[in-house]
Amino acid sequence: METELSKKLGVEHAIFGFTPFPAVAAAITRAGGFGVLGAVRYTAPDDLARDLDWMQEHTDGKPYGLDVVMPAKKVEGVTEADVEAMIPAGHRQFVQDTLAKHGVPELPEGETSGWRITGWMEEVARNQLDVAFDYPIRLLANALGSPPADVVRRAHDRGVLVAALAGSAKHARHHADAGIDIVVAQGYEAGGHTGEIASMVLVPDVVDAVGPLPVLAAGGIGSGEQIAAGLALGAQGVWLGSLWLTTEEADLHSRVLTRKLLAAGSGDTVRSRALTGKPARQLRTEWTDAWDDPAGPGPLPMPLQGLLVAEAVSRIQKYETGALLGTPVGQIVGRMNSERSVRAVFDDLTRGFERAVDRINRIAGRSAS
C-alpha cells in the first residue's frame, strides 16, 4: 500500500492512524503505518512531553505525527471563566436532572473533572506545539481546519508537513490556499466532528478540488477493501481513527464501554451536538437521546456545551453508567467486533487490500479479453 505520499514520509503502508493513546500510535508506526497522536487531552505540557518521550522510545526510529485542535481565528481577552458565565442555569439543571435520573454519583470531594474543553483553546494548542516541535514529528494535523498562518510557517520551517480535515470541497480549497500540505477528506460516516457529505462522494470531489495536493480518505473505512476503494477514488492514503478503539493497546479505562463498542452495529451511532456543541458522530446513548429530545433545552454552541457537560462526562465515565456511557466513534463500529492487537488489524487490512486488488485485476483482465 505504497503511494507517493507514504514514500515521502518513509512509511510502508499509506495508513494514517489517529488515536489519543500513545501505545496505539506507536504500534501503528511500528506496523508500517503512520501513527498520529491526538493532543487535545494534554492540557499540561509536561504530560505531552512525557508521552512523546515514550513514543520516541517505542517507534523504532520510524515517523509519527501529532494532531491538535486549533481554531484558525481566536477571540481575544475571553477567559474560560467568561465562557462558563454564559451557560444558562436551566441547562445546568437539565444536566443534574439527567444524571440523577440514572443514579450517577457525585465525584468524590476534591476530585475535579478529568475531561475539559480547555484542550480546544488556542493557547493550550500553542503550548502543545512548543513541546511537540522539540521532537522529530513529521506531520502536524489540525482537526478544526487550517491552523493559523504562523503555525503553518513554523511547521514548514522545521520540515513538518501540515494536514487539515475537510468535510467539503470548499473547505479543502480553503486549506490549499492556506498552504496546507495534505487534506484529509472526512466523510459523514466518520467518528467525531463531521460534515454532511459521505465519503464516496466527498473523496473524489476533494481530489478534484485540490489536486495535485495529496488527499487522505477518512470516514467509514475499516477494511482493506475500503482502503483500496479510497485509493481508487484518488486518495494517496487513508486516515483511520475509530478502528483502533477496540485494539488491545487502547486504554479506554472501561470494560463496559469496550463491550458496548464490540456489540454495536453500524446503525448504533448518531451525529449529535451533545458532547461539544458541534455535530459529532458518537455512540447513541440515553445521554445523546436526552440532548436531542425536542422536549429538552437542546445543546449549547461550542465551547459552552463542552464546558457544561465536562463534569457530567467524567462522572458517567468514572462510575461506568452503561445507559449514558458513550464515545465518539464512526459507523465502522459495526466491524469492530473483536479485541485484536494493532498488528493483527494491520495484517487484516493488508490481506483485504490484496484481495480487492486481485479482484479488480481479474475484472480488468476479463474486460480486456
Long-range contacts of 4-13 (CB under 8 A, 24+ apart): 4/214, 4/236, 5/182, 5/214, 5/236, 5/237, 6/34, 6/236, 6/237, 9/34, 9/63, 9/138, 9/139, 9/161, 10/62, 10/63, 10/138, 11/62, 11/63, 13/346, 13/349, 13/350
Measured distance CA(159)–CA(190) in Å, rounded = 29
The two beta strands, 161-166 and 64-68, are: unpaired
What is the rounded end-to-end Cα distance, in angstroms, of the chain? 27
- In whole angstroms, what separates CA 167 from the centre of its chain? 13
> What mean pLDDT comes out for the span 145-153?
93
Q: What is the pLDDT of residues 294-307, one digit of tens each?
A: 999 999 998 889 88
Q: 22: cis peptide before it, omega within 30°?
A: no
- Kindly give the residue spans of alpha helices, DSSP state H, lying in the chain: 4-9, 22-30, 45-58, 80-84, 89-101, 122-132, 149-157, 169-177, 199-210, 224-232, 255-263, 286-292, 304-318, 342-368
Distances, alpha carbon 284 to alpha carbons 252, 278, 287, 310, 313, in Å: 17, 16, 8, 18, 14
Locate cell 477571540: which residue?
75
- Check whether 114 has a pLDDT greater than 70: no
Residue 157 zone, left/alpha/beta (φ > 0; ψ -120 to 50; rest) = alpha
Locate cell 511537540: which residue?
132
AA identity, residue 123: E
- Specify the pLDDT at position 117: 55
Top pLDDT among 79 and 316 is at 316
What angle (nearest 5°) sits at the alpha carbon of residue 317, between those of residues 97 and 322?
A: 75
Q: What is the pLDDT of residues 53-106, one digit of tens each?
A: 999 999 999 999 999 988 666 555 567 778 789 999 999 999 999 999 999 999
The two beta strands, 280-283 and 269-272, are: antiparallel
Q: What is the pLDDT of residues 325-362, one digit of tens each?
A: 999 999 999 999 999 999 999 999 999 999 999 999 99
Q: What is the pLDDT of residues 22-39, one digit of tens each?
A: 999 999 999 999 999 999
- Sequence-separated (6 or more) residues with CB below 8 Å from residue 206: 166, 169, 172, 183, 185, 215
Q: What is the pLDDT of residues 188-210, one digit of tens each?
A: 999 999 999 999 999 999 999 99
- Specify the pLDDT at position 338: 96
Return mean pLDDT, the chain. 93
Residue 156 cell numbers, joined: 514548514
